[in-house]
Structure 1
């Protein structure tokens, strides 16, 4: 008896159901959204809000604010692939042990090298003492921006001249690098931005120390959550998403007892034990997802939901996805928002009148709760999509 086969249509049904993109399955709380996709990409401020609201029954920036800044039930960590993810408080200790701590160790070594090479009077002891002073200052202040902390810890104002003599030389403050290091090490978090939910000006606050989780156990738990949300998938998909070595990935899969299945065309893949049975076909669904959304960035192999010929229109040279239009588990177009609030979208192919109506409805609802904005997820990919939509077919 051969291994179970899970074809493309089944994978698309799983994507819509498990990532809460089917209308009847959307969540009431943002914590449920984050757990459904394991973690929300948080490199750009807007992505967390837009990804979450695409999966909430009642889209609300206030609901995301509640989890991030009031209940602090959603925390941001520099983790998988050295990308910032927003994960639930319950998953955070596992993500910290499985990914963030190792990244923090590398960040610390890199920062120390830069301090020795490009600043004066720095060594490991001074860096450690500065970290202690920053944490002590935060304990007194409650929360503070890097600039405010530099009033208490003056050495944060010191700078490093990077790439001296190059056309792209630039000065970096010690404070900007050190606070990022403390965040990746799980000591501080970003508090509510000063301004709108798209603001990049934010203070820092201390976070309680999470319980220690053995690294191997943590890696297995992260992969278990990921396979539950993204399976079936290949070991290469897991390696790409986590940024781990193939050895780490294989060890975690073995610890989980992951089962072999076959994809369309016979390619080998894996699922969690008991997850090889088909899922029910969901009702038709449309979605407008932001740059770096988990649905488009979840797998290395994307041909089952994204045509190769459409990749250049959606991805930048670094492999980052821009805003995407979805219909029933496939990427069928791109979208952008004008500063006046209008949401423009363009389909890459004919998907039928019903799909167009559904996409138009989602675009109207999105524009309705967004209002006029000027930034939806990073200049590198947003600008290109705005040009395509403005000069292509507008709907």
Structure 2
């Protein structure tokens, strides 16, 4: 069995995820494809992940790709997470994961409402409302146009997490899972997440039925392996949110080779076994939930226990990180005055310190006057912001 060293994995990561200076590219869809999908649970992540992998892209360039050109879109997929992907990736990710999530969310929402037929009709009305509007609509505006859907519902009734909401917000969400409405420009600045809703067919023609579930799963697994491989079965199950049975079926449909690494047995595409070339020293500042940091379940080969205790919350979410040569060596935060503060959990050479300082300067230039807080703060954030 071919053995892939940790060093080879780090070199693969550096080049394929566009983290080397010579691999940076000024194309939003190409950057999204390089990591399969960009995490969008925190909208800041999308912009900073792109900024770290480009030379001259600006916040406005990212907004143009998302909201004007629609060369990348926001859509729920793997692990019920909100992602930014190219439409092509969205199609097979939708088949592999989102359809099941949509069905589950529809049934769950109907249970909250207490009437499945009423809720199905509510979703249809939301879709018709958005399609009839010449401009994108906020969730609040949809509720105003469809007041009969503003039925109060209770979440977690009888538990300490009990809360109330409106049925029309659930209907909007299910319509988005189905792919009938799509998130557009948010109200406020680029760090906001109160998105307006538009007609998917008007904004970007997407064929949500281009793939059957099995074909979508195979395409998703292949794409991940070419960007993140080698990866184990556990890595693939965790990243996709799928079952082991589904992943095994997808692997069986692909030409893969089993390999070994420090994480155990894993897989590479058979035409992708060549060891990567050596790379020059490099550094990167990646945002919280960056797809590189979050790409594997088994992370020991790039995240040691000391760093993990500082940059990872109790749910496994990784905050803003400092990288050197394919390893996380610390974390960072933006202070209220806009300055980037860093901390290190490992020794950093003078050369790497120079590279990190250059990345800090690039990050501050990209962000400009914007100020943000991490939505999923890691343990080190309080100290860095003190």
**Residues 78 and 241 of structure 2 are in contact (CA less than 8 Å); yes or no, is this contact kept in structure 1?**
yes
Aligned to 2:191: 198
Give the deviation of 1:97 after TM superposition: 0.6
TM-score by length of structure 2 reads: 0.95
Secondary structure, aligned partner of 1:32: helix
Query: Of the candidates 295, 298, 301, which is equivalent to residue 298 of structure 1?
Result: 295
* The one of 22, 38, 44 aligned to 1:24: 22
Aligned residues of 1:155 and 1:174 also touching (Cα < 8 A):
no
Q: Is 2:126–2:171's contact at 8 Å kept on the other side of the alignment?
A: no
Residue 317 of structure 1, CA deviation: 1.2
CA RMSD of aligned residues (A): 1.5
Instruction: Tell me, in whole angstroms, the C-alpha distance in 2 between the residues paired with 1:166 and 1:269.
Output: 42
Quote the Cα distance in structure 2 between the aligned partners of 1:180 and 1:377: 24
Deviation at 1:166, TM superposition (A): 4.3
Using the TM superposition, give the Cα deviation of residue 152 of structure 1 relative to its aligned residue in structure 2, in angstroms: 1.7
1:119 maps to none
Deviations 1:19-76 (A, max 9, x none): 0011110111010011010000011111111111111121311121122101112111
Contact 2:101 2:177 in 1 (8 A): yes
Q: Using the TM superposition, give the Cα deviation of residue 203 of structure 1 relative to its aligned residue in structure 2, in angstroms.
A: 1.0
Q: 1:218 offset after TM fit, Å?
A: 0.8
Q: Does 1:218 align with 2:216?
A: yes
Give the C-alpha shift of residue 339 in structure 1.
2.1
Greater Cα offset, 160-169 or 199-208: 160-169
SS of the residue corresponding to residue 142 of structure 2 reads: helix
Q: For residues 390 and 323 of structure 1, what CA distance do their matches in structure 2 show?
A: 13
| Aligned-pair CA distance for 1:211 | 4.7
Gaps of 5+ in 1: 117-122
Aligned to 2:377, which of 372, 381, 386? Answer: 381
Structure 1's 235 and 92: CA in aligned 2 closer, same or farther, altered over 3 A?
Answer: same
2:84 counterpart residue number:
86
Aligned length: 380
Q: 1:315, 1:246 → 2: CA distance?
A: 26
SS at match of 2:301: coil
Secondary structure of 1:90's aligned partner: helix
Shift of 1:167: 4.2
2:126 to 120, 130, 134: 134
Secondary structure at 1:357 match in 2: helix
CA shift for structure 1 position 210:
1.3
Q: Structure 1 length normalisation: TM-score?
A: 0.93
